[in-house]
Amino acid sequence: MMDWTDRHCRLFHRQITRHTWLYTEMVTTGALLHGDVARHLDFSAEEHPVALQLGGSEPADLAKSAKLGEQWGYDEINLNCGCPSERVQKGAFGACLMAEPALVADCVKAMRDAVSIDVTVKHRIGIDDHDEYGFMRDFVGTVADAGCRTFIVHARSAILKGLSPKENREIPPLRYEYAHRLKREFPHLEIILNGGIKTIADIDAHLSHVDGVMLGREAYHNPWLMAGFDSRYYGDVQAAPSRSAVIHAMLPYIRAQLAPGAASLDGRARGGQPRLNSITRHMLGLMAGLPHARAFRQMLSDSKRLAAGDPTLLIDALDRMQLSIP
């Protein structure tokens, strides 16, 4: 979810669901230890609960980065052992770490020693030819011995050479039964399933086998799927907001972000000027499945109005839908 689940995206998603955990895009230890910390870690208080996902393989660097995350106010630190991109592999982290469970255990221990919040691991079910269940089981067992209690399982193997990240999300077959079995064999661990889950029916079916479900691209492209999560999964009796209410709730945030001297350091054009598109691009799927959704997307993609930086573009897009937004 690199370049997708930034702070603007998460703030937008938080308007739809009050309780669902949100995760950052992966932030490398190098970016935190040698770059602009505020640019990578700044977020809005409304985003809670929110987890910081780290990429790295040096225990000491991960410990320092995790501590920064805790100091910044994140609720969880998540270690990425699932990203298959070649760029990530060159940094010796991501999915290739599954081949080194002892190192991952050391990383987890170092982070747990450095912070008081939860340290979790996101991983694949295997890498390359190592796609048998026992490979994943042994990886999880070793890392669990270091104190990790939550594992987010992307139920596909990662092919480290020959497939692009996009192909790695589509070509390796989904093997949900691996995650289901993992929960049966490690009942004391929290097992969360990820990968290819698109509907409420899918979520409900998997929750009879595992402790939780993580959505990625489906939540991004069809964010309204999350509108019923609070009542269905968290017991919140408060009614879900309407799509119109979500848009109106975003307007004060957008105006604050676009104001001269705004604190946010991301999503800025040359010269430091904020860009309206850095926020509205995450909202294109809000009307997915509704009549005139295409007109809504077209309005939010109007380059001239985006360049003008006028957030009333969103209200005009609502009006153009010419229907009562449910």
Active site (catalytic) residues: 83
Separation CA 94–CA 80 (nearest Å) = 5
Separation CA 40–CA 251 (nearest Å) = 23
Separation CA 138–CA 130 (nearest Å) = 12
What the block records as the tokens of 233 is 């999964």
Say which residues have a Cβ less than 8 Å from residue 312's Cβ, sequence separation at least 6: none
Residue 226 · residue 213 · CB < 8 Å:
no
Separation CA 299–CA 207 (nearest Å) = 38
Place of tokens 């309204």: 224
Alpha helices in the chain (DSSP H): 7-16, 29-34, 37-41, 59-72, 86-90, 101-114, 133-145, 165-168, 176-185, 200-206, 217-221, 229-234, 243-258, 277-280, 293-300, 303-308, 313-321
Residue 308 · residue 273 · CB < 8 Å:
no
Separation CA 89–CA 60 (nearest Å) = 19
Residue 81's DSSP bridge partners are: 123
